[in-house]
Amino acid sequence: MDRNDPSVQSDMFSQWFARADKELKGDAHDRQNIHLGEDWQTKALGISTDAVSSLGELSTNEWSIGDDFREGDDGVLNRTLLEDLMTGLESPTVWVQKENSLNFLEEISLPHIQLHLRDQGGGLSEQLAQKLSQNHGVWSGSYSLTRDSIVTDSDRFPDNVWPALVLETAIGGRQSFSSSWSAISNMLDQHGRIILDRPFDLDFYRNASWNRALLYLAKETFGEQCLVIHQYVLDKDFEGIRQEDALIRSSVMALSSILSGAKLLRLCPTRWRNDDNFRRLARNIQLLLRHESNLNKWPDILAGSHTVDALVWDLIRVANTKPSLPNDK
């Protein structure tokens, strides 16, 4: 069997999902005892070892740990979140709502865990991040800096934790880009590295040009690999449309983001977050685009596009232009 044959890889994707589902069935109290070999994902997916690191960049889900967290008899994670962590194909975003949620990883034994933590204020995600850093040396991820958790010059983050900046609206204008870059550059100046979590823009070219311009500015100003872009869907963009149309829209969004350097995508709107079929298809969109289509090997594929280049350089020019003062003539 030729593992490089696209048809074989497609079949292996199906086998892998079936295997993951089979191994996760059973009583909840047994799930914390599941252990995976470090090469399990690579063998199952038919992806070379040097591509394993990219598997942790895929995500379609957001989960709330707290009010709706089902602890079960042994405090084990609910099945779907555990599946995300086990497979390594998704690095979920977790909204932390209660202090007792700091204990929710006690039952997990994995070679690598990647989570992106958010809270509504009060620093719960920061507390959980510190706990993860102490107990999981190979943990990586980010946590939110909320209005109630103001960053100061004295704040220090563990090397395996990236501070995150979350944008809540997708406004594509120049002024919006300029203000966004100002916030990003301020955080980069303080911490040297951040994760930017921004909504998808429905405009394919505008979404791609924002990502490319931000990555260029960050690289030129602060150095290589200081900015990682994650993107998520806005619920308002999926109101009043059928599921099959939503998947087409998600595919276009994912293509724009992957081609412009975004590393993690969440393609599942709230209305279908508990729909296993939509979640599976949204996850497969990224698998097919990144790995089967080999788009992850061409991170600068949009270079040379006159449309994208013109938009990118216009945004860069705006970001580098100092605003005029009221008394300037």
Residue 125 and residue 201 share a domain: no
- Which residue, of 103, 118, 150, is where some domain finishes? 150
- Does residue 282 lie within any of the structural domains? no
Contact (Cβ atoms closer than 8 angstroms) between residue 206 and residue 300: no
Structure tokens at 38: 């470090």
Among 119, 150, 181, the domain-final residue is 150
Percent of the chain residues past pLDDT 70, beyond the cut? 48
| 158 falls within a domain | no
Give buried/exposed letters for 165-188 (b at 16+ CB in 10 A, else e): bbbeebebeeeebeebbeebbebb
Residues 279, 271 contacting (CB under 8 angstroms): no
CA distance 148 to 82: 30
pLDDT tens digits along 124-149: 777 777 777 666 554 566 676 544 44
User: What pLDDT sits at residue 145?
Assistant: 57
- List pLDDT tens digits, range 176-209: 898 889 889 988 988 888 878 888 999 999 999 9
The rounded distance, in Å, linking the Cα atoms of 227 and 214 is 8
The answer to whether position 14 is within a domain reads: yes
For 217-240, give one letter per residue: b (16+ CB within 10 A) or e.
Answer: bbeebbeeebbbbbbbbbeebbee
In the chain, how many domains are there? 2
Tell whether 73 and 218 lie within a shared domain: no
Residue 223: the pLDDT is 92
**Strands 227-232, 194-199: pairing kind:** parallel
Is 283 in contact with 60 (CB distance < 8 Å)? yes
Kindly state the helix (H) or strand (E) to which residue 40 belongs, with its residue range. Answer: helix 40-45
Is 240 within 8 Å of 292 (Cβ atoms)?
Answer: no
Q: What is the DSSP letter of 202?
A: S
Name the more confident of 133 and 216: 216
Shared domain for 201 and 235, answered yes or no, is yes
Q: Give dist(CA 251, CA 284) in Å, integer.
A: 10
Question: 260 and 217 in one domain?
Answer: yes
Tell me, yes or no, whether 215 lies in a domain: yes
Q: Is the pLDDT of residue 86 over 80?
A: no
Residues 229 and 271 in one domain: yes
Q: Do 221 and 108 sit in the same domain of this protein?
A: no
pLDDT of residue 263: 79
Co-location of 118 and 171 in the same domain: no
Which residue segment(s) compose the domain that 183 sits in? 167-242+253-276+289-322
Q: Does 196 lie in the same domain as 311?
A: yes
Q: Are residues 171 and 318 in the same domain?
A: yes
Question: 212 lies in a domain?
Answer: yes
- Same domain for 173 and 144: no
What integer pLDDT is reported at residue 67 of this predicted model?
A: 40
Q: Is the dihedral of CA 28, 279, 124, 130 positive or negative?
A: positive
Q: Confirm whether 284 is domain-assigned.
A: no
Q: CB-side exposure of 115: number of CA atoms within 13 Å?
A: 28
Task: Give the mean pLDDT of the chain.
Answer: 67
Please determine, for residue 290, whether its predicted confidence score (pLDDT) is greater than 60.
yes
> Which tokens sit at 93?
């975003």
Q: What is the pLDDT of residue 207?
A: 92
Q: Which amino acid is at 103?
A: N
Specify the pLDDT at position 113. Answer: 61
CB 213 within 8 A of CB 312: yes
Which own/partner pairs from 217-226 qualify as long-range (CB within 8 Å, at least 24 positions apart)?
217/181, 217/185, 217/316, 217/319, 218/184, 218/185, 218/188, 221/185, 221/188, 222/185, 222/188, 222/189, 222/192, 225/193, 226/188, 226/192, 226/193, 226/194
Judgement on whether residues 225 and 100 belong to the same structural domain of the protein: no
Of the residues 116, 150, 184, the one at which a domain ends: 150
In a domain, 306, yes or no: yes
Question: How far is the C-alpha of 321 from the C-alpha of 170, rounded, in Å?
Answer: 22
Residue 174 located in a structural domain: yes
Separation between Cα atoms, residue 290 and residue 57, nearest integer Å: 10
65 and 212 in one domain?
A: no
